[in-house]
Amino acid sequence: MSSATNAAFFIARVGDDGTQCDAWPEQPLLQSLEQGGIDWPSSCRAGNCRTCMGVLTAGSVRYAMDWPGLTPEEKEMGCVLPCVAYPLEDVTIEPMSF
């Protein structure tokens, strides 16, 4: 299953090397990545520390909180916090390159 309207899960792709896992709409993207065996940096799991920040290059997410710890500029650049972001469709996320 992928991004069909009634899909039970979506696909999360990491980078462009074919790495992917199932992404469940009812759990944070970080949890899906970890369950799929994808090593992604994390710490607080509450959207505060920003350790898990990445760039969403395809797809969309929702947040269960009003303020997910991103500046308006970061949101505009496509930055997401997978620890508090829930996929709305298939997504592709890239690690931040600082």
**How many CB atoms within 10 Å of residue 46?**
12
What is the SS3 assignment for 47? Answer: coil
* Mean pLDDT computed over 43-62: 94
Which pLDDT does position 87 carry in this prediction? 98
Which pLDDT does position 7 carry in this prediction? 62
User: What is the C-alpha separation between 4 and 39, in angstroms, rounded?
Assistant: 27
* Mean pLDDT computed over 31-48: 95
Q: What is the pLDDT of residues 1-32, one digit of tens each?
A: 444 455 699 999 998 889 999 999 999 999 99
Catalogue all structural domains in the chain, each as residue range(s) with its CATH number: 10-93 (3.10.20.30)
